[in-house]
Amino acid sequence: DGFRLVAMEAIWDECGADANVEPQNRCLVWQERGGSFAADSRITTAPLLADGVLYVGTQGGIVHAVDAANGEELWSFDADARVEGIAVIPNVIFVTTADGVLIAIAGESGE
């Protein structure tokens, strides 16, 4: 049983029964868009979205890069310790681990 990320789509709906709701009073409703991704273990970082790719780190020390549109894993990287933080600049993913290591990963290949 893995932990799942599920692709969601934001849709707007009216709050309450009044059909004449002003745009600023509309409610955001979430709907599953399809596709999901099962992580290797508990996700320990906030999901980070950059250029259509969702990055997450796990308790098991894996960084996953997932296509945000369809939930398919693009690559994974073994950080050898629980992942505690992720930051992204163009083409580089920076990862911090529980044992105090900072790792730079190539964005396109995951190496």
Write the pLDDT tens digit of every residue in 42-96: 888 888 889 988 898 988 999 999 888 777 889 999 999 999 999 999 889 999 9
For residues 61 and 43, the answer to whether their CB atoms sit within 8 Å is no
Length of the chain: 111
Is a pLDDT exceeding 80 seen at residue 6?
no
Closest CA to 110 of 62, 51, 60: 62
93 contacts 63 by C-beta, under 8 angstroms: yes
pTM over 0.85: no
State phi, psi for 23 to the nearest 5 degrees: -55, -40
The half-sphere exposure of 21 on its side-chain side, counting CA atoms within 13 A, is: 13
Strands 102-106 and 3-13: unpaired
